[in-house]
């Protein structure tokens, strides 16, 4: 493994983000709490340090919306956002105890009991999608299964017609691109247009649900009350819907696609899984560990403090790198290797931990279990289609997902 000069390292460059694993290991070995040169940003890569930070909201706040929503230097982008609604802190960028006020509104939607009750519906969607191309012998798996499966599921829960898949995916992609902070100016303009379009679509839907309530997430958010019995404001409701949309599909899409590639690249592990399907739940945790669709998240130091002996001044930003912690050799021996029967695979931090543990975690697990089980049961002899796969990932500081995935396969009789 070639070492890089940490004094010259641009950690958030597209090149590093595309293939970061050797950099993660070097940082863990040499500077596990590393200050990016010339900045007040610290990158944290060891499992135990990350765990300490995300479990201590008093010292390390999630209130970093100013970092995410900083105005663009492009006046056209700012003008477009001016046609929409202000972005306010609700779930992702809110600290206790206020965070709990908003979290309580959506916890029941993603409860384990409710998710278990959705299994038959998720299975039906998976089978329907696969049946559409099962006789073809080759498929654009990303767009014919990995994307539509979780989008259909979250659309049903939101109360949006499945026919709006294209719109929902476009809006979700725009939200994650903005969150990822690596979009060029052209993409920033398109993101702004898409997000404002999303806001107006759901603002109208909130109005309709307040007049005629239904049994779905939008109606619940439109009509449930907080504080002294007031309704959510439009910006509050829209912020929560946007985060639910992203949490409800991006993790699943990226984990399913990444998991298939891992099993193609590790045929012995795939054979083990086909021979022992009871290992699927453990294999799903191992996929989440290795893929870590949410690669990292921000925290802000609320006071002068330290981590692992490194001084962290008040106001500094910390990038807690879940994807690095999930490959920490001190916690996961042979961390870069896929082991579908790894005993401690579920110790991963793909969904974070503590107060901000991903609200869609159980839904993502269930979708991934069903997708993998159904693919393995109905298809065999997977291979990447030559000439159609870049296996590159969308440029994004926080999220990691493949841009394409075409596979060939045999139909199982």
**Antiparallel, parallel or unpaired: β 41-44 and 297-301:** unpaired
Is the Cβ–Cβ distance between 272 and 341 less than 8 Å? yes
Nearest of 401, 352, 370, 363 to residue 157 by alpha carbon = 363
Mean pLDDT of the chain: 94
pLDDT digits (tens, 9 = 90+) for 83-95: 999 988 899 999 9
CA-to-CA separations, 202 to 84, 90, 169, 331, in angstroms, rounded: 11, 17, 14, 43
| Choice between 106 and 254, residue whose per-residue pLDDT is larger | 254
CA-to-CA separations, 267 to 139, 282, 339, 410, 411, in angstroms, rounded: 19, 17, 11, 15, 18
Please report the pLDDT score of residue 108 as a whole number: 77
Q: What is the mean pLDDT of residues 218-223?
A: 94
Nearest of 319, 249, 263, 270 to residue 291 by alpha carbon = 263
Q: Where do the DSSP E strands lie in 122-276? A: 138-140, 225-226, 230-231
Whether residue 141 has pLDDT greater than 90? yes
Please report the pLDDT score of residue 72 as a whole number: 58
Residue 124: pLDDT band with limits 50, 70, 90: very high
CA-to-CA separations, 155 to 43, 148, 158, in angstroms, rounded: 35, 10, 5
Per the document, the length of the chain is: 413
Longest dimension (CA), the chain: 63
* Strand (E) or helix (H) holding 8: none
Q: Please state, in angstroms and rounded to a whole number, the distance separating the CA atoms of residues 236 and 231.
A: 10
pLDDT digits (tens, 9 = 90+) for 367-411: 999 999 999 999 999 999 999 999 999 989 999 999 999 999 999
Please report the pLDDT score of residue 136 as a whole number: 98
Q: What is the mean pLDDT of residues 189-208?
A: 96
Residue ranges of domains in the chain: 1-61+295-349, 72-293+352-411
Q: Where do the DSSP E strands lie in 98-154? A: 138-140
pLDDT digits (tens, 9 = 90+) for 339-375: 999 999 999 999 998 889 998 899 999 999 999 999 9
pLDDT digits (tens, 9 = 90+) for 31-85: 999 999 999 999 999 999 999 999 999 999 999 876 665 555 688 998 999 999 9
Residue owning tokens 């950690």: 11
Q: What share of the chain is helix, strand, coil (3-state, %, to 5)?
A: 55, 10, 35
Q: What is the mean pLDDT of residues 10-25?
A: 95
Please report the pLDDT score of residue 69 as a whole number: 57
Whether residue 109 has pLDDT greater than 90? no
CA-to-CA separations, 127 to 72, 134, 157, 396, 405, in angstroms, rounded: 43, 10, 19, 31, 19
- The three-point CA angle 312-98-90 to 5° equals 90
Residue 2: pLDDT band with limits 50, 70, 90: confident
Whether residue 175 has pLDDT greater than 80? yes
Nearest of 263, 291, 254, 264 to residue 147 by alpha carbon = 254
Nearest of 401, 389, 405 to residue 350 by alpha carbon = 401
Q: Please state, in angstroms and rounded to a whole number, the distance separating the CA atoms of residues 110 and 411.
A: 34
Please report the pLDDT score of residue 218 as a whole number: 94
Q: Which of 142-156, 235-249, 289-303, 305-319 has the lowest mean pLDDT?
A: 235-249
Please report the pLDDT score of residue 181 as a whole number: 78
Q: What is the mean pLDDT of residues 138-158?
A: 96
Bridge partners for 33 per DSSP: 44
Q: What is the mean pLDDT of residues 321-344?
A: 98
CATH top-level class for 1-61+295-349? alpha beta
Please report the pLDDT score of residue 249 as a whole number: 87
Please report the pLDDT score of residue 324 as a whole number: 98
Percent of residues, the chain, with pLDDT higher than 90 = 84
Burial class (CB in 10 A: 0-12, 13-18, 19+), 348: buried
CATH code linked to domain 72-293+352-411: 1.10.630.10
Q: Is 121 left (phi over 0), alpha (psi -120 to 50) or beta?
A: alpha
Residue 209: pLDDT band with limits 50, 70, 90: very high
Burial class (CB in 10 A: 0-12, 13-18, 19+), 264: middle
């Amino acid at each position: 493994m070639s070492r890089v000069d940490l004094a010259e390292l641009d950690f958030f460059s597209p090149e590093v983000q595309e293939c970061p694993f050797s950099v993660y290991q070097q940082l863990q070995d040499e500077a596990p709490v590393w200050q990016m040169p010339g900045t007040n940003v610290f990158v944290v890569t060891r499992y135990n340090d990350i765990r300490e930070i995300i479990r201590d909201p008093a010292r390390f706040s999630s209130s970093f919306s100013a970092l995410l929503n900083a105005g663009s230097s492009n006046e056209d982008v700012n003008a477009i956002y001016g046609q929409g609604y202000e972005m306010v802190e609700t779930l992702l960028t809110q600290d206790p105890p206020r965070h709990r006020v908003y979290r309580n509104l959506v916890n029941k939607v993603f409860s384990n009991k409710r998710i278990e009750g959705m299994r038959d519906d998720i299975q039906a969607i998976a089978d329907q999608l696969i049946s559409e191309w099962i006789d073809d012998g080759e498929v654009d798996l990303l767009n014919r299964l990995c994307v539509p499966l979780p989008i259909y599921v979250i659309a049903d829960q939101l109360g949006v017609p499945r026919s709006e898949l294209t719109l929902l995916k476009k809006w979700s992609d725009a939200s994650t691109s903005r969150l990822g902070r690596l979009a060029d100016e052209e993409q920033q303009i398109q993101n702004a247009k898409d997000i404002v379009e999303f806001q107006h679509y759901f603002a109208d839907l909130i109005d309709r649900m307040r007049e005629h309530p239904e049994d779905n997430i939008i109606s619940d958010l439109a009509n449930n009350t907080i504080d002294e019995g007031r309704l959510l404001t439009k910006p509050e409701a829209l912020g929560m819907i946007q985060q639910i949309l992203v949490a409800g599909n991006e993790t699943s899409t990226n984990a399913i696609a990444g998991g298939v590639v891992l099993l193609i690249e590790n045929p012995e592990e795939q054979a083990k899984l086909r021979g022992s399907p009871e290992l699927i739940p453990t294999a799903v945790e191992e996929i989440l560990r290795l893929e870590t669709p949410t690669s990292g998240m921000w925290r802000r130091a609320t006071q002068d403090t330290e981590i692992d002996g490194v001084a962290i001044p008040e106001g500094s930003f910390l990038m807690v790198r879940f994807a690095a912690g999930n490959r920490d050799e001190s916690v996961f021996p042979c961390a870069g290797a896929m082991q579908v029967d790894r005993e401690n695979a579920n110790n991963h931090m793909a969904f974070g931990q503590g107060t901000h543990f991903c609200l869609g975690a159980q839904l993502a697990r269930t979708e991934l279990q069903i997708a993998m089980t159904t693919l393995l049961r109905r298809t065999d002899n997977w291979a990447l289609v030559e000439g159609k796969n870049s296996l590159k990932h969308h440029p994004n500081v926080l999220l990691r997902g493949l841009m394409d995935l075409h596979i060939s396969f045999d139909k199982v009789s």
